Structure 1
Amino acid sequence: MEETSEFQIKSEERQRWSSIALVWSGSVISVPALMVGGILGGGLPLNICVIGIFIGYCIVCSYMSLIGMQGCDTGLPTAVLAAGALGEKGGRYVISFILAVACIGWFGIQAGVCGTSFAAMFGNLTGIVIPVWLSSIIWGIIMLLSACFRFDGLKRLNRIAVPLLAIVCLYTLIKSLGNGGMEVLHNYIPTGTITMVDAISMTVGHFALAGAISSDYCRFARKRTDVIKSSFIGVIPAGLMILLVGAVLSITMGTYNISEILISSGLPWLALVALVVTSWTTNVANAYSGGLSLAVLLNKDEEKSRGTTGIAGILGTVLAALGILTGLRTFLSLLTALVPPLVGPMIADYWIINKGRMSRFKSRPGFYIPGMLAFITGALTACVTGGIFSKISFLSFLDRPFFIGPINGIVVAMVVYMVMSLIYKGDRK
């Protein structure tokens, strides 16, 4: 492999697989995951939920391991690795832009949600009124400062947060099963029309983006097997726990919201901690990956990415304080849906064409036509079959739900890339 980028990490920066696993666990334990679990619990028997969730996370962990091992081999983040399959300009101007905008946007939304909820709960507990905009700025800055410590900051935060969140989730689960909750669960008959495929699709969907950018974190792994261990052990147990907690809570308590349940149980301060920490662990990763992608887009190096992380976090925090991001959720969902199909060309190029040999990985100059066409085709497939266009009124006629949108996009992108690579004889750099 040639010296591709200033983003290659040094050997002394490599981490134990358990540190990377904790980062993944902190990312998967989130309020959106509880919501997905709550929806699944309302439409499927718990045993089917478990199977669907397990299969869904196994699918995500499989492709995130492949991308993560590329990052481990090369020491490069996703936005830079994309230059091998999409060309340097494709990776820099297309992929980096999409990742940066999506991560900054979601950082702002999470900071806004955390700020709004914190202001309301803190006001109820103390009688002190904190303006929502001020609360959003405070928590946005706190989350941003954690992200500016790069991977070490993520690692240290999750060493504390993941065990704490696990304890809170288990305690809430035990509380929900008391006072007749166990009987409600035993006699529960689902009333929804959710299928096993829906369960798999929803599980994949809520973590598909994280799987696609796994090399941002797995580049710190010491060897390929560490990537696999950190992905499967970091994601599946935590993911199963949080989604099942959401499912059980929705059945026994009528809500998946841990904070509401803790407040009703007389533990409002613990509810406040749960709210803040679940937002914090997820949002630090948004700022970190957003900063990396912004650095690539602006042609900066790894050292300068600390500054671009600051820029990304400040932009997201300001947008959150202004309260304008809520109306952009559909746009951000569209951008997020475009990311997983990127995995297709990258996997095909590195693992099939180059047979997983690091020495054969090279970035291509400009825009690489097979990779760009494969990405566009895969992204369109993911949007058409994944329900994204159903949220956009003037494109709703294109909505054709089928199987799992992100996976459809990845598979189609892989196939198109393989075919186009045979046809197109572009020279490698």
Structure 2
Amino acid sequence: MKKMDSEFALTAVPKTHRNGFWKMLVVMLGLTFFSASMWSGGTLGQGLSFMQFMTIVMAGNLILGAYTGSLAYIAAKTGLSTHLLARYAFGEKGSYLSSLLLSFTQIGWFGVGAAMFAVPVHKATGIDTYVLIGIAGILMTATAFFGMKALAIISFIAVPLITVLGGFSVFQAIDMLGGMGELLTYQPKEAIGLAAALTICIGSFISAGTLTPDFTRFARTKRSAVITTLIAFFIGNTLMFIFGAVGSIATGQSDISEVMFIQGLIIPAVIVLGLNIWTTNDNALYASGLGLSNITKLPKNKVVIFNGIIGTLAAMWLYNNFVDWLTILGSALPSIGAIIMADFFILHRGNYAKLEDACFKSVNWVALFAWAAGVAIANLVPGIPPINALIGSAIIHVIGTKIVNQFTEKDVVMKQLEKVGH
């Protein structure tokens, strides 16, 4: 008898394998306890007053919550990952583009994350950087190999520890500033524009947020999927930004590990940095495995090992050469989520046929055009690039699909009339 794929890389997650509210909350908090959010928080802390900072973070998380919450709803209703959902909008082979983009960026960030852990820890301890990368890569690949159960365990350990240690660092930073009053009246030396600040806040997570369905498809109910996602953003992501910002205001450093080193918290810094990157990298590797499984049809666990090896071996090269390119690639991901949402909620009115019953196009060129247009709009149209991409690609996909369908229907009617005439 063929062994069941416990991660359901190529099928919908059945109701019998769904998880309850608390397990999903821990997993989603682990997803939002994201290293880049702390660094982004540090950048915002250097360029905004604290009240401006909190306003931007709340507004950014509201937008991110709406985006990821919508994707969470779709995933919980269908039981499908981002990559399988993409088949409905992009076509079966058309979905390979989104899977390649998503997988490639996540493997890249896995390698960057391993190096981001190793470099500061090497400075603090003297342990060889490549040894640290190897250890981190092996451990992170191992937990990603075991799937959702391991992700839940790592998150269960990491989330409370990061919260406690990050909170302690914030209290230390407030004391360094001279009290809460000094924090609340802080004014930056060089201000960041509010639109640019909102772009940083949203852009730091929206590409990873596109992968929300990979995790929320395991939610027992749609309500649970949406609520746990929203809580994760308004608590988890907000905390990450605060940890980065307050330390940055007090020390002038945007990197949380550098902040904690200055505070004399070397061991807590290593723990926070390690656990934060571990939860981030585990989710990245897990999602990349699902993406390449969609293309190769190989089991997710085998693909995860391959991806982990590649990411680990290339970690320092990725760290030194690839971050800017990964950021550019990340800007191409929000359009994928927007097209899936528009396709599900507007064109299919909230209902997809079951995966095994669906008849997919090979390639839906309208969706691919909408994706390319969304990327162009993000980079060329003034405003907030991630929001431009979301709105632009969704509108083009809906309008383009309706126009094509009208021409197709007219063509079918004309052919039927020709048959009748003969």
Q: Same fold (TM over 0.5)?
A: yes
CA deviations 1:35-84 (Å, max 9, x no partner) are 21122122222112111111111111111111122111111110111011
Query: What SS does structure 2 have at the residue aligned with 1:330?
Result: helix
What is the CA-CA distance between 1:116 and the residue it aligns to? 2.1
Instruction: Give TM-score, length-normalised by structure 1.
Output: 0.87
Asked if the contact 1:342/1:375 (under 8 Å) is kept, the reply is yes
Structure 1 residue 424 corresponds to structure 2 residue 404: yes
Partners of 2:29 and 2:21 lie apart in 1 by: 12
Q: Gaps (5+ residues) in structure 2?
A: 1-7, 410-422
Deviation at 1:416, TM superposition (A): 0.7
Do the aligned residues in 2 keep the contact of 1:133 with 1:320 (CA within 8 Å)? Answer: no
Q: What do residues 336-372 of structure 1 show as CA deviations (whole Å, max 9, x unaligned)?
A: 1111101222111110121112448845221112211
Aligned-pair distance for 1:325? 4.6
30-39 or 131-140, which deviates more? 30-39
For 1:100, the equivalent position in structure 2 comes to 103
Q: Deviation at 1:262?
A: 3.1
Aligned with 1:381 (options 377, 381, 384):
377
CA–CA distance in 2 between the matches of 1:116 and 1:360? 47
Equivalent residues of 2:91, 2:361 under 8 A apart: yes
Shift of the 187–49 alpha-carbon distance from structure 1 to 2, 3 Å rule, reads closer
Number of residues paired by the alignment?
397
Does the alignment pair 1:366 with 2:369? no
| CA positional deviation for 1:264 | 3.5
The CA distance in 1 between the partners of 2:128 and 2:263, in whole Å, is: 27
Residues 225 and 334 from structure 1, CA distance in 2 versus in 1: closer, same or farther, beyond 3 angstroms? same
Matched, 1:275 2:279: no
Measure, in 2, the Cα distance between the counterparts of 1:340 and 1:113. 24
Instruction: Check whether the contact 1:334–1:383 (CA below 8 A) recurs between aligned residues.
Output: no
Q: Which residue of 2 aligns with 1:389?
A: none
1:56-75 alignment runs, 5 A limit:
56-75=60-79
| Residue among 84, 89, 92 paired with 2:93 | 89
SS at match of 1:338: coil
8 A contact 2:116–2:319 mirrored in 1: no
1:316 matched to 2:317: no
Equivalent position amino acid for 1:120 in 2? K
Is the 2:111–2:311 contact (alpha carbons within 8 Å) kept by the matching residues of 1?
A: yes
Opposite residue 35 of structure 1, the aligned amino acid is W
Aligned partner of residue 94 in structure 2, secondary structure:
helix
What is the aligned counterpart of 2:129 among 107, 128, 132? 132
Structure 1 equivalent of residue 287 of structure 2? 289
Residue 214 of structure 1, CA deviation: 0.9
2:219 corresponds in structure 1 to 221
Residue identity opposite 1:171 in structure 2: F
Structure 1 gaps, min length 5: 124-129, 386-401
CA distance in 2, matches of 1:344, 1:27: 20
Please give the TM-score of this superposition, normalised by the length of structure 2. 0.89
Distance 1:65 1:188, change over 3 A: closer
Change (3 A) 1:252 1:181: farther
Aligned to 1:397: none
Contact 2:370 2:396 in 1 (8 A): yes
Greater shift, 39-48 or 279-288, is seen at 39-48
Partners of 1:191 and 1:8 lie apart in 2 by 52
- Counterparts in 2 of 1:244-255, with a 5 A limit? 244-255=242-253
The Cα of 1:326 is off from its aligned counterpart by 2.2
Partner of 2:420: none
What is the RMSD of the two structures over their aligned residues, measured on CA atoms?
2.0
Structure showing greater Rg: 2
Shift, 1:180, TM fit? 4.6
